[in-house]
Structure 1
């Protein structure tokens, strides 16, 4: 059973979100709390998915339980969208970034499903800008090396697929782009994550950041 936690003090947001998720995922347990301390006190468990409303809760609400310190998938809700803020939250470890004013509840279901399958949910431009940044940095002496210089032992196909992952491509899009089956895509993704010591696409980005900072200090 997947345990999903909605963190929000705004009933106009969390009530409809909870209702649609309960209808769409009858095998999930959908919980709600106004803070992480309340959630831990009431439910006394970890969660696989956290929907975080940062319009009514602040970073102090994490209480040590955050995208960077816990293996749960994290989706940021109800934030006025901007590419700059999205990039910041991508770096903080959020798996998805959603402005609810731009996203209806049916899309939210698809987003939750995709994130739970290990995909990131950001606008294509945000993912593209992140990859372009790394590529630009690789032109300079002490910058992060390109994929073929990583110590991850990627095959050529895995390097091609990793670049598409970082651009925000989803499994079906990758399959169409590389003219391979979705099953093959999932196999390659599994190999890439294993070689990087990562469990998700989001953690893969973290590993790339770590590699970047390592090369800067040597």
Structure 2
């Protein structure tokens, strides 16, 4: 029987314990660990799975989190409506699944089983948003934010803004997420476009294929 390691990352210990208690009955061969930060989750095995609690840790873009550069299968739990709309950007960054906050505990068993089998878990709504964005000319990613940041000499703040842009956030929404002024965000966006040589924010996702 295949054994796997599953990391449940949340600052809510009660929630983490509830998740593990529920999953351990169905996944008896799996080993579960709790973490309150993603800081130590680097160079994971491909079979490892991470369940990220968005409700307590916030948008992963705040942490410049790019699962593709960390390996393993990552599931965004307790996701928001905005996350669903930015599903394509999350997929491009290496996320394997998104679970809406209202359905996380209900669907986590199925999502974990799918991700463990090498498949993706996204709702029809999330995939619809993603496909519409692809049709509009955006592409999937195969490059980590760390590589892009180095390649185009993006500052730490510019990398954070870039992560939000890829997920489809507006300038106003980015300003609220980062708690900065709208003019500051506009300046960062302008710098990002200038440094990357792109004409519009819609073209930025293509950088992650180059």
* Shorter-chain TM-score tier: 0.5 to 0.7
1:90 pairs with 2:80:
no
The alpha-carbon distance between structure 1 residues 60 and 134, as it changes in their structure 2 partners (threshold 3 A), is closer
Give the alignment of 1:113-132 within 5 angstroms: 113-132=113-132
The 3 A distance-change label for structure 1 pair 135 and 93 is same
Q: Closer, same or farther in 2 for the Cα pair 1:26/1:68, shift >3 Å?
A: same
TM-score w.r.t. structure 1 length?
A: 0.53
RMSD (Å) for aligned C-alpha atoms: 3.3
- What is aligned with 2:48? 48
Assess, with a 3 A threshold, how the Cα gap between structure 1 residues 35 and 120 changes in structure 2: closer, same or farther: same
After TM superposition, give the deviation of residue 32 of structure 1 in Å: 0.6
Gaps of 5+ in 2: 140-204
Q: Highest relative contact order (Cα 8 Å, sep 6+), 1 or 2?
A: 2
* Alignment partners' CA distance in 2, 1:122 and 1:45: 22
What SS does the aligned partner of 1:113 have?
helix
**Unpaired runs of at least 5, structure 1:** 138-142, 145-208
SS in structure 2 at match of 1:18? helix
SS at match of 1:110: helix
Distance 1:128 1:60 in 2: 22
Kindly tell me: are residues 20 and 61 of structure 1, through their superposed partners in 2, closer, same or farther at Cα, counting changes over 3 Å? Answer: farther
Query: Paired residue for 1:5?
Result: 7
Cα distance in 1 between the residues matched to 2:131 and 2:44:
36
The total of aligned residue pairs comes to: 140
1: CA distance between counterparts of 2:61 and 2:130? 27
Residues 9 and 35 of structure 2 are in contact (CA less than 8 Å); yes or no, is this contact kept in structure 1? yes
For 1:130 and 1:109, locate their aligned partners in 2 and report how far apart those are by CA, in whole Å: 23
**CA–CA distance in structure 1, aligned partners of residues 44 and 129 of structure 2:** 37
Task: Name 1:197's counterpart in structure 2.
Answer: none
Give the match's secondary structure for 1:98: strand
17, 27, 30: which one aligns with 1:28: 30
Distance 1:27 1:79, change over 3 A: same
Query: Quick one: distance in 1 between partners of 2:120 and 2:80?
Result: 18
Q: Is the 8 A contact 1:6 1:50 kept in 2?
A: yes
- TM-score of the aligned structures, taking structure 2 as reference length: 0.54
C-alpha distance after superposition, 1:19-43 (max 9, x if no partner): 1111110100011111234668xxx
The answer for the alignment partner of 2:68 in structure 1 is: 68
Cα contact 1:35–1:61 (8 A) shared by 2: no
